[in-house]
Structure 1
Amino acid sequence: MRNYPTSVSLLAGTAAIVAMMMMAPAVQGQKIICWKDKAGKVIGCGDRVPPEYQDNESKRLDSRGITRETSVSAEEAARMRDEEKRQAAQRAEEEHRRAEQRRQDTALLNTYVTPKEIDIRRDREVQVVDLQIQQLKSAQKGADDAYAAQQKRYANFEKTGKPVPANIKEDLKRAAEEKEALQARIADKEKDKGRISDSYAQQKARFIELKGLRSPAASPDPKPAPKK
């Protein structure tokens, strides 16, 4: 496979640099600077970079044409600074995460002695939420009855063929809103139960890991509080 075009391009580029160096004012021991355009192509050499190219990448060569120093373009320097900031922020975030994990681990070991204690506290919290759900469901039954009564009242007025009074419309709307609000609160409490169980499952797994214990069979989820 022939690479003539590439070789010719490299030779041409090298020849161009050499030619520019020969054209640059030669002073014994003086270093020569070659500057590039935005595309990275060398476009000139001399003892100093022209003002219009000072933000571009440049190379400082000695009298033998050997590169002694390279300065990146202003655009590349800005990109490098942004990357350094990003990495520094990432390191800080990771260190914060580790510190928070250490704090949580210390609190976990100071709070519990055995995994069973974690199960007991989980059960206690879930039972509290179960009782709250039962109370809300009792209230919901009353709200359902009130809504049904308002619906019937509204329907009776409609049967008369007369316009339904504004207060009856408002009562029906208020009853519907109360019913929906209780349903939403019950749904939220059910989600709370799931979050509690998940949280304590994670705590228990981490506690066992920190203690170096063998993981016992999963403890069953607590039974709901008995209905009253």
Structure 2
Amino acid sequence: MVMRFPVYAAAGAALSLLAMAAQAAPSSSGKRFTCWTDNQGHRACGDAVPPQYAQKQREVYDDQGRVREVKPREKTADEVAAEEKAAHDAAAKAVREQKQRDYDHFLLSTYDSAADIERARDERVAMIEGRRALTEKTVADNQKAIEQQQSRIDVVKRGGHTPGKALTDKLADLQASLVDNQKALQNFVSEKQQVTDKYNADLARYRELHGSAAGAE
């Protein structure tokens, strides 16, 4: 059984009619009805919801006209996607905030002052500069060894002979080593910048944390 009421009808009157119908029906004790709004804007109630309205919001009433359950409408695909994105963003934000709290604790428990961070930064930069200087010397030695090996090969060629495999293999090894060392030398520039940026960021955060603590006092 389906009963329809205009959407502008008084809600109390509609429910009263519904309750009267339920009480008049035989064996209606404990009977429940579901109400929904159809596509024409009319309020409809009945024992079961037609399939075409199953996705709309429904209210379940008992035989006294009291609401026992409200079944929300089904969410659209866009709404579901938006909720999933919001949940994902919230979870990612929580992870970032926890990581920041952990790192803040690390900074405060590792360094006693901003000067400690500056000192650690300068020591790391000095280590990088030391490694860079050693690599520069290695590159220079490499280049000298290549020149010497090439000279040996040239002597053999001028004598009208073909250089042996050992001579040419040694030259190839020296040239490959030079390429690797030159790449390492170039990497020191970016490594130094990354280390400097990291410690400067730590220094700024450390000062911010101590400033917040001082303000709280």
- Category of TM-score, reference length = shorter chain: 0.5 to 0.7
The C-alpha deviation readout for 1:165-210, integer Å capped at 9, x for no partner, is 4433322221111011111112222322211111111111111111
SS at match of 2:147: helix
Contact 1:140 1:183 in 2 (8 A): yes
Q: Which residue of 2 aligns with 1:93?
A: 92
1:140 positional shift: 1.7
Contact 1:59 1:71 in 2 (8 A): yes
Query: What RMSD in Å do the two structures reach over aligned CA positions?
Result: 3.8
Distance in structure 2 (CA, Å) of the matches to 1:177 and 1:101: 43
Say if 2:145 is the partner of 1:143: no
Q: Which residue of 1 aligns with 2:114?
A: 115
Matches within 5 A, 1:17-36: none
Contact 1:35 1:57 in 2 (8 A): no
Change (3 A) 1:59 1:114: closer
Change (3 A) 1:104 1:162: same
Aligned pair count?
Answer: 174
| One-letter amino acid matched to 2:187 | D
Matches within 5 A, 1:2-151: 71=73, 76=76, 78-151=77-150
SS at match of 1:113: coil
Q: Which residue of 2 aligns with 1:220?
A: none
Q: Which runs of 5+ in 2 are unaligned?
A: 1-5, 7-17, 23-32, 59-69, 213-217
Q: Which residue of 1 aligns with 2:65?
A: none
Q: Which residue of 1 aligns with 2:202?
A: 203
TM-score norm. by structure 1 comes to 0.59
| One-letter amino acid matched to 1:167 | A
| One-letter amino acid matched to 1:139 | T
Provide the identity percentage.
21
Change (3 A) 1:35 1:149: farther
Q: Which runs of 5+ in 1 are unaligned?
A: 1-17, 19-26, 37-41, 61-67, 214-228
Distance in structure 2 (CA, Å) of the matches to 1:173 and 1:188: 23
| One-letter amino acid matched to 2:126 | Q
TM-score norm. by structure 2 comes to 0.61
